[in-house]
Each structure stands twice: as C-alpha cells, then as structure tokens.
Structure 1
Amino acid sequence: MSFSYGEGQFRSGIPYNDRHNHSAISKMQHQYWVTKETVFRKLGKKEDSNIVASDAELDAKLELFKSIQDSCFDLQRIIDKYQERICLLAQEENAMGRFLKDAGRHDKTGAGNVMINLGKTLSHAGQQRISLRSPLLRLFQEVETFRHRAIEDTNRTVLAMERARTEYRASLSWMKDVSQELDPDTYKQMEKFRKVQDTVKQSKVVFDRYKLDCLQKVDLLAAARCNMFSHALILYHNVMLQFANSTFEALHSIATSCNEHKKFEFNVVKELSEMKLGEEGTPNEETSGALDQSLQETDEKIAALLLIFFLELAL
C-alpha cells in the first residue's frame, strides 16, 4: 500500500485526520449509549422482553449466587451469636448446679439427694456444652474463608459480566437507533451502520465469554458450598449427638430415681373468713344481723367525725 505524504491522505482518499476524528466520535457515541443504558438499569426501566428472555438462564444463576452470598453472611453472623449463647447457657447451668448442690446439702431428706445429683448433672452438662464451641468455630472459619475467597472471586466475575452486558445492550440500542435513520443509498450512513454492527459483534463476544465464566463459577460455587458443609458439619453433628445422649442418660437416671422416693402429701388449708357460710353456701341469720349492726355503727361514727370536722371549720 502506498501513501501520499504531501496530501496527508491514504490511497482511499480519506484524510487521516478525518479517520482519527471519526474514531473518537464513535467512541464518544458508544460511551453515551453505555452511560444511558447504565442509568436506565439503575432506574429500573423496563427492557426489551426478547433481550431479557435471552438472559433468563444467566439471571437464574445470578439469583442463586445472590442467595449463596446472603445465606453465607447470615450463617456466619448466626454462628457467632450461637456460640456466645452456648457460653451463657453453660454458665447458667453451672450456677444452677451449684445452687442445687448447696440446697441439697442442707436438706437431709431424700429430696436433698435428688437435688445434689441433679446439681452435679447440670454442672457436668454445662462443662460438656462448651465442647460444642470447637466445631462451631471451625465452621465459622470455613464459612469466612469461603466468603473471602470463593464468593469474592465469583463476585468479581459477576461485576465484569454486568459491565460487558451493559455495553452489549447499549450497543444494541445504538444499532437500533442508527437503523431507524438508515438510508441504504447514503454511503456514510451505511458505513456508520457497519461500524456500529462491528461494535455489537465485539461486545457480544466479550459478553458471551463472561457469561460462560459466570455460569460455570456459580455452579462450582454451589458445589463447593455443599462440599464445605458436608465436611464441616459432620464434626458438629457428632459432638452434638454425643452431648445430647450423655445428658439424656444422666437426666433420665435422675428422673427414674425420683420415683423411688416417697411422694409429698399436699394439704390445702382454707382461709378463715369472718362470714361463715351455711351448708348451702349462704350466710345464716345470726351472721347477717351482726353484719348489719356493725355497718350501722360504722356509719354513725363516720357521721359524728364529719360533724366535728365542719364545726371546727365554722369556728
């Protein structure tokens, strides 16, 4: 290819400066449509149904990724609170155990022995409950590592895919706008349409690559989470099962021993009332007369006191 340096032109006759300016204008126009698409997506503008339907599989995977991201964050927060509650419950069990043992030493009956045995069991259960924190802390660390590595890596791919999808949809909108004003007989408009079409093809190649990466990484992320739980939770399951069985056996033996002791007999003492009821539950005549006389005397005393009070005010 030969050049004509004196005129600053290529052999095609298009000035070099014009080609450079046209490229800069195309970039500005492309950036305009990208910005417009970004604003519309932020505002939640309804997009073309065909374009949305073509990304249905991708959107479903993104929902799965969002669910994994949120659930792992919530799980880590719950584990932290759960292990704190275990410590508080163990402290309360120890305190209750000490209280029962102290109360049992002062009780010389069979109930005292039961309280002592129950206090020892509760204290032992509180100590054994602390053993649940070890597998919980391991699970907490596993979830934290999973969040900071696997989820963050997938999130970076998702963000890159979203940028590529925005550029691809922006280029589609740009091509649609150019095609509406296209005149096949005009060379410049056809050339502009071809360049926009090339931009659409390039952005689609980039978007398809990130889309495939996203689909694969979300599937791997879901499988990795299941694998993490299957290994991290089995230790907690075994420790929890051992603790529950040992505590149940100890408490069951105490409940069985309670049946061997003599039961307490509770007698309800009825409160004595000033008004004795007859056999049919109604006041008798003597009680009614005494009650009426007492009320009359009380009224007379109140009237006398009020009379004295008003006389003093008058003086």
Structure 2
Amino acid sequence: MNTDSRQWVGEDHSMVSRMQKKFWKTKQVLIKVTGKKEDEHVVASDAELDAKLEVFHSVQATGSELIKMIDKYQHALNALSEEENDLGLHLKVHAEQNSTDAGKMMKATGNALCSSARQRLAICTPLSRLQQEMDTFSRRAVSDTLITINRMETARTEYRGALLWMKDVSQELDPDTYKQMEKFRKV
C-alpha cells in the first residue's frame, strides 16, 4: 500500500508538472499573439533563425508570384502569336490579289509576321517546362519545408515557455533551500 501511495504522489507530481508546462507554453503563445515584448536575449538568440525564416518566406512568395507571371506571360504570348499570325495571313492573301510592288511588300511582311509568330510560340515549350518545375518546387520543397518550420515553431514556443518558467522560478530561487533547487532543476 505504501508503494501505491508513492505511485499516486508521483503521478500527481507529473500531472502538476505537465500543467505547469502547459501554463507557461500558453503564456508564451499569448505573448506572441498579443505582440507583447519578449525577453530581448531570447529574441536576439533567434536572430539568425528569424533571418533564415524571412528568406524562406521570400522564396515562398516569389516562387508563387513567378508561377503566376509565367502563366500570364504564356497567355500573352499565345494571344500575340495568334494575332501576329492572323495579320501575316491576311497580308499574304491580299498580296496574291495585288501584283505590284506593294503586293510584294505585303507578301514579305506577311511571311515575316507568320515566321515571327511561330518563333514566339516556340518559346512556350521551355516556358511551360519552367512553370512545371516551379510548380513542383512549390508543391513539394516549399510545402515540406513549411511543415518542418511549423514543427520548429511549436518547439520554439515550448522552449520559450520553459525559459519563462525558469526565469520565474529563478527569481524566487534561494540556493540554500534544497527544495527550491530541486524545483529549478525540474524546470
């Protein structure tokens, strides 16, 4: 029966410990959400990590913008090529009806416009490949990294909560009192 009471005491102790841990984690989340000033030393220690996170978010934003721009550019290329080809065909048809020098110029201009339209359409294939590669990069690499960052942010919040807890306990710490030293070690 004596061991049972120690087991219950141990469970109560761990329950209290878990509750305290959750309290400090929640307090850290509230500090972050409300925008209250955090400990300057803790924030400074994460400066390099925060800089890397900014670079990641920049890559994420510019990657999605690049995909949108490539799509717009492809639509513009297709529309321009179609109009250019139509104008070239129109000039060539009217050149056949006109046997003067103006007809020859219309035919040469029509041929140049049709050729230019074909060359412009040839750009679409590598552009489409670039769009596929960027889309794959965004869906896989960026999303996988984002999952890792979210896990890291959760761990960082827990860590900062533990630091808050340690700071709170250390302010009341009396090194001569064994119980308080144990409490600090536990934290």
Query: After TM superposition, where is structure 1 displaced by more than 6 Å over at least 4 residues in a row?
Result: none
Larger Rg: 1
Which of the numbers 149, 153, 157 marks the counterpart of 2:144? 153
2:47 aligned with 1:56, yes or no? yes
2:105 aligned with 1:110, yes or no? no
CA distance in 1, matches of 2:144, 2:69: 24
2:84 aligned with 1:93, yes or no? yes
Name the counterpart of 1:205: none
1:150 maps to amino acid: A
2:186 aligned with 1:195, yes or no? yes
In structure 2, the gaps of 5 or more residues are: none
Name the counterpart of 2:124: 133
Structure 2 residue matching 1:15: 3-state secondary structure: helix
CA distance in 1, matches of 2:97, 2:31: 78
Deviations 1:164-219 (A, max 9, x none): 111111100011111222334444333221101xxxxxxxxxxxxxxxxxxxxxxx
CA apart distance, 1:8 = 2.8
CA apart distance, 1:123 = 1.4
CA apart distance, 1:106 = 4.2
Q: TM-score, normalised by structure 2?
A: 0.90
Name the counterpart of 1:177: 168
2:7 maps to amino acid: Y
Aligned positions of 1:1-315 closer than 5 A:
6-8=1-3, 15-196=6-187
CA distance in 1, matches of 2:128, 2:134: 10
Deviations 1:65-94 (A, max 9, x none): 111111111111111111111110111001
CA apart distance, 1:15 = 2.9
CA distance in 2, matches of 1:64, 1:30: 32
CA distance in 2, matches of 1:41, 1:89: 50
2:71 maps to amino acid: D
Of Structure 1 and Structure 2, the greater helix share is in: 2
CA distance in 2, matches of 1:68, 1:101: 48
Percent identity between the two aligned chains: 50
Deviations 1:16-35 (A, max 9, x none): 32221011111111111111
Name the counterpart of 1:215: none
In structure 1, the gaps of 5 or more residues are: 1-5, 197-315
CA distance in 2, matches of 1:55, 1:7: 48
CA apart distance, 1:98 = 2.1
Structure 1 residue matching 2:124: 3-state secondary structure: helix
